[in-house]
Amino acid sequence: MKIAVIGAGSWGTAMAAHLAYLGNQISLWAREPEVAEGINSKARNPLYLRDLNLPARIMAGNDIAHALKQAEIVVMAVPSRWTRQVAEEVARNINAEIPVLNLAKGFDYETGRRLSETIGEELGEAGRVAVLSGPNHAEEVAKRVASATVIASADPDVARRLQGIFSSDYFRVYINNDIAGVEVGGAYKNIIAIAAGVLDGLGLGDNTKATLITRGLAEMARFGSRLGANPITFSGLSGIGDLIVTCISRHSRNRRFGERLGRGEPPDRILRETKMVVEGVYATRAVMARTHGIDIPIAESVYQVIDRHAKPAEMVERLMTRGLKEESEENLYRDFLLT
C-alpha cells in the first residue's frame, strides 16, 4: 500500500525502511534537501542512520503535499516541537478517513498536552489518530533486530488495522486502547532517562540506577493517572519496557544528555552541540507546568538541573535524603492506582 512517512530523522528513516521491507510503497518527506537527494540517489540518509542501505521502495522529497498524495496511511515522525505545525499541513492534504500514526514521544510544545490530542484537533477527528510506543531504538529496528511495540488508538478498528500492517517476524506489535497511558509512558521515560544519564556521569552504580528506574516507574504512573491513563499500562512495553531501554542504552540521546550533565557540562551547550532533539528536556518542562500537585521528585530534580542550574550531585543527595517511607502494599497500591 502507499504510506506517507512525514519526517526523515532516525525514527522516520527506520520506520520507512521497515514498512518498505514489508512490501509497501513509501513516500518519505524530509525537511533537509540533502536528505531527500541522498536517499533517492544513493539509498542512504546522509544525516541519520548513515550506514543503513535503504530499500528501493522509498522515494523521498521536500514537498509535504506531494508526499501525502494518495497516501492510505500517514506516519508522523517529527519532534514534538513541530507536531502541531506538521499536523496542520497533513490535515490540509489528506482525506478524512485516512488514519494518522504518531511516532514522537513527548508533549505538545505550546500547551503541554498529549500529542494525539494536538493531532486530533488539527485533523478534526481524534478517532483517526493512533500512537506507537515501546522499547524501539531506531538503530535496532532499522537493522531488523527483534523487538516489540504497542499501537494505541481510541478506535480499536484503527489500532487493529495498523497492527496488521506494521507487524513482522522481527517487529511484534501489540494493541491497546489506553492511548493516554501509552503516550505518557513514552514521554515521561525520557525524563527518567536524563536522570539515569546523570547517575552515569557522576560515576554511580547499578544499584543506584535500578532504584531510579523503579521509583521513576511509580512517578510516571502517578502523573499519567492524573491525565486519564490506566496505571496498569505502565507495566507494559510502553511503560517499563521503554523506560528500561532508554535508561540503559548507548543509543539513548536522553541518557547521553544526562551523562554530560552529570559530568558538569552546562545544559545549553550540550543542546547546541546535539544534532537530534532531546525530547526529555521539553517533556520535563511540560510536566513541571502541569504537576497537578503530584509528588514527582525525579522530574523536579531534572528540572532544577536543566533550568535552575542546580548541581547534579546535590539533586541526588536531595532525593536520597527525602522523608523515609514504607514500601508497604498500601503505599505501592497508592503509587500505582490511587495516586
Residue 125 to residues 80, 104, 116, 235, 245, Cα–Cα distance (Å): 19, 19, 11, 29, 33
DSSP secondary-structure letter at 155? S
Q: What is the DSSP string of 70-136?
A: T-SEEEE---GGGHHHHHHHHHHHS-TT--EEE---SB-TTT--BHHHHHHHHHT-GGGEEEEESS-
The CATH number of the domain where 231 resides is what?
1.10.1040.10
DSSP secondary-structure letter at 44? S
Residue 78 to residues 93, 127, 173, 283, Cα–Cα distance (Å): 17, 20, 21, 15
Judge if 56 and 188 occupy the same domain: no
Judge if 274 and 189 occupy the same domain: yes
Last residue of a domain, one of 177, 194, 225: 177
Cβ contact 254:190 at 8 Å: yes
Judge if 164 and 266 occupy the same domain: no
Judge if 330 and 201 occupy the same domain: yes
Residues catalogued as catalytic: 189
Residue by residue, pLDDT tens for the chain (339 residues) are 999 999 999 999 999 999 999 999 999 999 999 999 999 999 999 999 999 999 999 999 999 999 999 999 999 999 999 999 999 999 999 998 999 999 999 999 899 999 999 999 999 988 899 999 999 999 999 999 999 999 999 999 999 999 999 999 999 999 999 999 999 999 999 999 999 999 999 999 999 999 999 999 999 999 999 999 999 999 999 999 999 999 999 999 999 999 999 999 999 999 999 888 999 999 999 999 987 788 999 999 999 999 999 999 999 999 999 888 888 767 776 666 544
Reduce the secondary structure of 53-89 to three states and give it as a string.
Answer: CCCCCEEEECCHHHHHCCCCEEEECCCHHHHHHHHHH
Judge if 184 and 170 occupy the same domain: no
Output the pTM of the full model.
0.94
Judge if 266 and 304 occupy the same domain: yes
Last residue of a domain, one of 177, 201, 231: 177
Cβ contact 98:125 at 8 Å: no
Judge if 233 and 90 occupy the same domain: no
Cβ contact 94:79 at 8 Å: no
Judge if 220 and 201 occupy the same domain: yes
Last residue of a domain, one of 162, 177, 192: 177
Judge if 236 and 302 occupy the same domain: yes
Judge if 25 and 51 occupy the same domain: yes
Judge if 93 and 173 occupy the same domain: yes
The CATH number of the domain where 67 resides is what?
3.40.50.720
Judge if 140 and 19 occupy the same domain: yes
> For the chain, what is the domain count?
2
Range of the domain at 286: 180-338
